[in-house]
Amino acid sequence: MSIRTIVAATDESIQDALKVRVEVFVEEQQISRELEFDGLDEECIHFVSYDGEQPIAAGRLRLIESTGKVQRICVLSSYRGKKIGNEIMYLIHKTAKEKGLDQLVLHAQESAIPFYEKLGYKISSEIFFEAGIPHAEMKLKLN
């Protein structure tokens, strides 16, 4: 397994990231395509992980003033538990710091809260539902 994680800077790599999102969120989790593709992709920085040429994980970062909103973090089911989510998050954190952001915020699916807690995120809301799935807002100070 030769995993590499990149900032998706070309149309092709962004399309690869979107393919992973469709497989995980639309097909596996049954989230509607309309909810998944919220019209904000154009203003986000995209991230994608590859195993060779195969896209296997993705995420995006939306800049909102001095805060980054981490969104759409996903790993294909056959690659989960292999620390690939950590690689994507590491690159998002590095990119956010390079952009001078003060903090990151995300809406974690309840099942993913322990993953984000290990990365230093703290829960900052009650549980709420997004796309019919329980979530909590979580924040990470970068400095």
Stated pTM of the model: 0.95
pLDDT tens for each residue of 81-103: 999 999 999 999 999 999 999 99
Domain 3-141: CATH superfamily is Gcn5-related N-acetyltransferase (GNAT) (3.40.630.30)
Task: Decide if 128 contacts 136 (C-beta within 8 A).
Answer: yes
Q: Please state, as a whole number, how many other Cβ atoms lie within 10 Å of the Cβ of residue 29.
A: 14
pLDDT tens for each residue of 26-85: 999 999 999 999 999 999 999 999 999 999 999 999 999 999 999 999 999 999 999 999
Confidence grade of residue 143 (pLDDT, cut at 50, 70, 90): confident
Say how far apart CA 33 and CA 40 lie, in whole Å: 13
Sketch the domain layout of the chain as residue ranges.
Answer: 3-141
